[in-house]
């Protein structure tokens, strides 16, 4: 029906009607404007009133007039003596007031384009010429006066301007408005290619995933993601319908990262290589009845290479690869997250086999709860993600990869088999892995002969792949600051100190403060040197770095995964060596605040020994550092559903004063293994016992440090003097001083 068409296009019809009305109004205004060139006023003639001209005619002072429509130029026999001249040339003086011949005057008027021509005496011409515009009804009276005074009257033809100029002059404002409207709408079209609010709303729920695909051979990869125009896809249909039909993600060239660029985590790489082979050769596995894994969850600390592994899979798989951050699912509108999840997996099913990678999964995969501060929109997004992960057809080769560094807060429904079948732990690399990673990052950097990647791998214990990449870059920057042609070992040492210890701070300190710092750092280094279980000293400095006034840097000779009680006690003794050295050298009354961080570190270590690792005989082998999950907020999911009674119960007290719910006893199996920890750690007696054991362990470590420093007091003095003199000692210099 026609009324349905009008209703569906009501906005366009209303806009068109308003534009047509505006154009008609402007056209009427333009029609009322005079044509260009209608005013014939002379530039030099005196403009006078109609009454003055009539008086001049009656007085016989007018010798000739030239009439052109309603405009009259009159030639006066004698110039006007009145000062009432509006357009006369100021200060001009005529050389002679002699009358001007009417024929000459008329000739000058007719031969001038502007009714004013330069002659031998233009000033005299201006002084003898007046101009008036005849008012309505005054032309007949004026003609009668001219005839009675026998004035020579000449009728000038009306000037005919160019028709094109006339049309342009009348319609120029309308054309200007049209041009401005076109420019305005073109700018809006560029800023918003979808064109309307409905189109923008329809795009909110579309996935923003980036699709990586292998380009044909000989094709240059685009510098920007190429998005296909909806009009080209739909043959000129409206953008809204085009968006609904084609919601394809922007196609980007596959990154140039392969498994050859991944080093140090061979066991993880082997897991992913198998998944890539499954995508390339599914028949190799399907003939044995094996099914493609539904998903793989990469778990690891920040910087261990989870995203790099995903890029390597994209570069090796030779299938479409969709990448999206989990935080891009959720926005301010309700239902957007679930809609984007659906759209992402619809795109993946169209181009299967493919890989979908979701980075930082914990942004939407947190445990669902009934807290008052819960996020319902995020929970809905998670619900939709769970449905999509478990709703795949087994014949569709779509693998979902996700990365997170907080697997402990993920919802359990995400982690079950059938959604993420494989949980791949990406840990920090060992010494061999660090050496391989350094070799990969140093491929494009020139290295000096004194650089040993094996030695650097020993110095960088605990560093991740991102840390090692930053180390190589900082070393290159250090070499550039020194104008070196290659990176030497000193550049790596400086870069390592800058990363681990902080940048140098130019502080001016007194000699007494420098000696206190030297004794403090010497105490750390000397205790570590004489304890076999302690790490080796790599560098000692009294130069302020970061937040520290002095630093002792240690390096482990080998990677450690388990720490004995002897090793932990050695670390506590080394940590307290600085404070003990100050006490022995300057006395208990002159100790300083420089040991604040040392005390914090050793106290935390001693408390973990007591509450986590069962290294206290009095507390025993119990985990006494239990903290209830999400104790900062109400979490109804921490209650076992089976423990909730079907009927109401009341709280009663037994003969000992213990409170419990009457009726059937709730199930306590969930917390049975943690009963001692969760309840005893909150008790006053247990807390006092833990504090006493922590204090005892710290005192034992302090006694170890005191015994070593008392025995080697001469070495402490020599080491402090060397630090004051050189300000910084490396491993070789330190060991030479101790052995000398």
pLDDT digits (tens, 9 = 90+) for 305-320: 888 888 888 778 778 8
Does the annotation flag 460 for ligand binding?
no
Predicted confidence band at 522 (pLDDT cuts at 50, 70, 90)?
very high
- DSSP code of 527? H
* Count of Cβ atoms closer than 10 Å to residue 562 Cβ: 5
Q: Count CB neighbours of 302 within 10 A.
A: 9
pLDDT band at 670 (very low <50, low <70, confident <90, very high): very low
Which two three-digit tokens encode residue 665?
Answer: 């006893």
Q: Which residue in this structure is represented by tokens 């004051």? A: 724
Instruction: Please tell me whether 675 is known to bind a ligand.
Output: no
Backbone region of residue 376 per phi and psi (left: phi > 0; alpha: psi in -120 to 50; beta: other values): alpha
CA distances from 111 to 4, 47, 74, 563, 608 (A): 68, 21, 16, 114, 111
Q: Which of 272-276, 392-396, 644-648 has the lowest mean pLDDT?
A: 644-648
- Could you tell me which of 297, 279, 316 has the C-alpha nearest to residue 397? 279
**pLDDT at position 191, please?**
59
Percent of the residues in the chain that have a pLDDT greater than 70, as a whole number: 71
pLDDT at 519 over 90: yes
Is residue 611 a known part of a binding site?
no
Catalytic entry in 316, 435, 521, 693:
521
Q: Please check if 301 is assigned to a binding site.
A: yes
In whole angstroms, give the CA distance from residue 291 to residue 617.
52
| Number of residues in the chain | 740
Res. 668 pLDDT band, cuts 50 70 90: very low
The correct CATH number of 431-501 out of 1.10.3720.10, 1.10.8.60, 3.90.470.10, 3.40.50.1580 is: 1.10.8.60
Q: Would you state the structure tokens that stand for residue 52, as one six-digit string?
A: 């003055």
C-alpha 388/C-alpha 344 separation (Å) is 10
Q: Is 51 annotated as a binding residue?
A: no
Residue 157 has pLDDT above 50, yes or no: yes
DSSP 596: H
345/351 Cα distance (integer angstroms): 10
Q: How confident is the model at residue 30 (pLDDT cuts 50, 70, 90)?
A: low
- Per-residue pLDDT for 110 more than 90? no
Helix (H, G, I), strand (E, B) or coil at 333: coil
For 7-14, which contacts have Cβ atoms below 8 Å and span 24 or more sequence positions?
none
Per-residue pLDDT at 84: 42
Tens-digit pLDDT profile for residues 365-391: 888 765 545 567 778 888 888 888 876
Residue with more model confidence, 628 or 71: 71
Q: What is the pLDDT of residue 227?
A: 41
Q: Please indicate if the annotation marks 362 as binding a ligand.
A: no
Q: What is the pLDDT of residue 472?
A: 94
Residue 21 predicted with pLDDT over 50: yes
Measured CA to CA, the distance from residue 598 to residue 40 in angstroms comes to 98
From residue 645, give the alpha-carbon distance in Å to each of 244, 637, 650, 670: 50, 15, 11, 16
Neighbours of 481 (CB within 10 A): 10
Q: pLDDT tens, 697-732? A: 999 999 999 999 999 999 999 999 999 999 899 889
In this structure, are residues 430 and 436 in contact, taking their beta carbons and an 8 Å threshold? no
Residue 608 predicted with pLDDT over 70 = yes
Q: Which of 262-271, 434-443, 452-461, 599-608 has the lowest mean pLDDT?
A: 262-271
Q: Is 236 left (phi over 0), alpha (psi -120 to 50) or beta?
A: left
Quick one: pLDDT at residue 101? 77
What is the per-residue pLDDT for 156?
A: 78
What is the tens place of the pLDDT at every residue in 178-233? 777 777 667 766 655 544 545 555 555 565 666 666 655 555 544 444 443 334 33
Per-residue pLDDT at 47 exceeds 90? no
CA distances from 13 to 6, 9, 272 (A): 8, 6, 58
359 known ligand binder: no
Any known ligand binding at 379?
Answer: no
Structure confidence at residue 480 (pLDDT)? 93
CATH of domain 511-739: 1.20.58.760
pLDDT at 590: 92
CATH of domain 46-155: 3.30.720.210
Torsion of CA 482, 488, 490, 495, to 10 degrees: 80
Cα dist from 613 to 87, 408, 699, whole Å: 106, 20, 19
DSSP-derived pairing of the beta strands 295-300 and 422-426: parallel
- Does 550 show up as a binding residue in the annotation? no
Please say whether the beta carbons of 210 and 324 come within 8 A: yes
State both tokens at 372. Answer: 């008052």
Q: Can you give the pLDDT at residue 89?
A: 42
pLDDT in tens, 276-288: 888 888 788 888 8
pLDDT the model gives residue 200: 53
523 is in an annotated binding site: no
In the residue annotation, 331 being an active-site residue is answered as no
* Out of 365-369, 372-376, 523-527, 528-532, least confident range: 372-376
For the cut 70, the answer to whether the pLDDT of residue 88 exceeds it is no
Residue 295 has pLDDT above 90, yes or no: no
For the entire predicted model, the pTM comes to: 0.61
Q: How many CA atoms lie within 13 A of 149 on its CB side?
A: 22
Q: Identify the DSSP state of 610.
A: H
302 is in an annotated binding site: yes
Q: Provide the pLDDT for residue 587.
A: 92
Mean pLDDT score of the chain? 76
Fold of 210-227+246-425: Rossmann fold (3.40.50)
For the CA atoms of 464, 468, 473, 476, the dihedral, rounded to the nearest 10 degrees, stands at 160
Quick check: bond before 90 cis, omega within 30? Answer: no
Q: What percent of the chain has pLDDT over 90?
A: 21
Residue 460's alpha-carbon distances to 596, 597, 610, 698, in angstroms, are 25, 22, 29, 28
């Amino acid at each position: 029906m026609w009324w349905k068409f009008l209703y569906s296009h009501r906005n366009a019809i209303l806009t068109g009607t308003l534009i047509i009305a505006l154009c008609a109004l402007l056209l009427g205004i333009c029609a009322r404007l005079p044509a260009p060139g209608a005013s014939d006023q002379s530039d030099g003639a005196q403009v006078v009133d109609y009454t003055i001209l009539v008086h001049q005619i009656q007085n016989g002072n007018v010798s000739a007039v030239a009439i052109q429509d309603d405009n009259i130029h009159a030639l006066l026999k004698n110039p006007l003596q009145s000062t009432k001249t509006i357009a006369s040339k100021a200060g001009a003086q005529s050389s002679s007031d002699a009358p001007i011949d009417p024929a000459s005057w008329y000739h000058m008027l007719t031969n001038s384009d502007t009714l004013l021509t330069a002659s031998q005496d233009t000033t005299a011409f201006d002084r003898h010429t007046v101009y008036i515009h005849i008012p309505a009804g005054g032309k007949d009276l004026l003609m009668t006066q001219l005839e009675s005074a026998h004035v020579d009257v000449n009728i000038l033809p009306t000037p005919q301007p160019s028709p094109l100029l006339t049309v342009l002059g009348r319609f120029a404002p309308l054309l200007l408005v049209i041009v401005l409207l076109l420019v305005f709408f073109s700018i809006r079209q560029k800023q918003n290619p979808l064109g309307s609010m409905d189109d923008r709303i329809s795009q909110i729920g579309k996935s923003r995933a980036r699709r990586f695909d292998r380009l044909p051979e000989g094709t240059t990869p685009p510098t920007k993601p190429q998005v296909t125009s909806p009009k080209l896809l739909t043959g000129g249909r409206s953008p809204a319908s085009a968006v609904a039909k084609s919601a394809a993600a922007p196609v980007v060239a596959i990154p140039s990262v392969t498994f050859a660029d991944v080093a140090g985590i061979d066991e993880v790489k082997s897991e992913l290589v198998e998944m890539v082979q499954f995508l390339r050769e599914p028949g190799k596995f399907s003939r044995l009845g094996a099914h493609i894994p539904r998903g793989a969850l990469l778990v690891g600390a920040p910087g261990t290479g989870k995203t790099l592994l995903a890029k390597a899979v994209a570069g090796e798989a030779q299938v479409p690869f969709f990448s999206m951050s989990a935080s891009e699912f959720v926005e301010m509108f309700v239902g957007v997250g679930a809609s984007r999840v659906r759209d992402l997996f619809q795109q993946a099913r169209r181009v299967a086999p493919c890989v979908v990678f979701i980075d930082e999964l914990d942004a939407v995969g947190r445990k669902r709860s009934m807290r008052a501060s819960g996020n319902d929109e995020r929970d809905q997004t998670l619900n939709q993600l769970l449905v999509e992960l478990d709703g795949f057809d087994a014949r569709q080769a779509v693998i979902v990869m996700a990365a997170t560094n907080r697997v402990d807060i993920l919802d359990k429904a995400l982690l079950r088999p059938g959604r993420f079948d494989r949980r791949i732990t990406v840990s920090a690399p060992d010494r061999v892995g660090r050496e391989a990673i350094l070799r990969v990052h140093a491929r494009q950097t020139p290295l000096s002969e004194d650089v040993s990647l094996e030695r650097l791998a020993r110095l960088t214990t605990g560093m991740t792949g991102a840390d090692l990449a930053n180390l190589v870059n900082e070393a290159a920057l250090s070499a550039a600051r020194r104008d070196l042609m290659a990176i030497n070992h000193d550049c790596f040492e400086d870069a390592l100190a800058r990363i681990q210890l902080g940048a140098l701070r130019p502080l001016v300190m007194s000699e007494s403060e420098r000696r206190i710092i030297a004794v403090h750092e010497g105490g750390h280094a000397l205790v570590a040197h004489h304890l076999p279980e302690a790490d080796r000293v790599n560098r000692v400095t009294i130069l302020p770095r970061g937040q520290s006034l002095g630093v002792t840097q240690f390096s482990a000779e080998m990677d450690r995964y388990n720490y004995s009680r002897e090793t932990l006690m050695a670390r506590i003794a080394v940590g307290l060596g600085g404070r003990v050295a100050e006490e022995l050298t300057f006395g208990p009354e002159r100790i300083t605040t420089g040991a604040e961080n040392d005390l914090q570190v050793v106290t935390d270590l001693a408390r973990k020994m007591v509450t986590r690792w069962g290294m206290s005989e009095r507390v025993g082998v119990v985990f006494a550092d239990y903290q209830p999950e999400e104790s900062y907020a109400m979490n109804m999911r921490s209650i076992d559903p089976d423990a909730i009674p079907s009927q109401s119960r009341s709280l009663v007290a037994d003969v000992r004063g213990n409170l419990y719910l009457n009726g059937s006893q709730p199930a306590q199996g969930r917390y049975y293994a943690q009963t001692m920890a969760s309840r005893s750690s909150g008790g006053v007696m247990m807390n006092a016992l833990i504090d006493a054991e922590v204090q005892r362990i710290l005192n034992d470590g302090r006694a170890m440090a005191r015994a070593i420093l008392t025995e080697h007091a001469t070495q402490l003095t020599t080491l402090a003097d060397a630090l004051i003199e050189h300000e910084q000692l490396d491993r070789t210099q330190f060991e030479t001083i101790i052995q000398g």
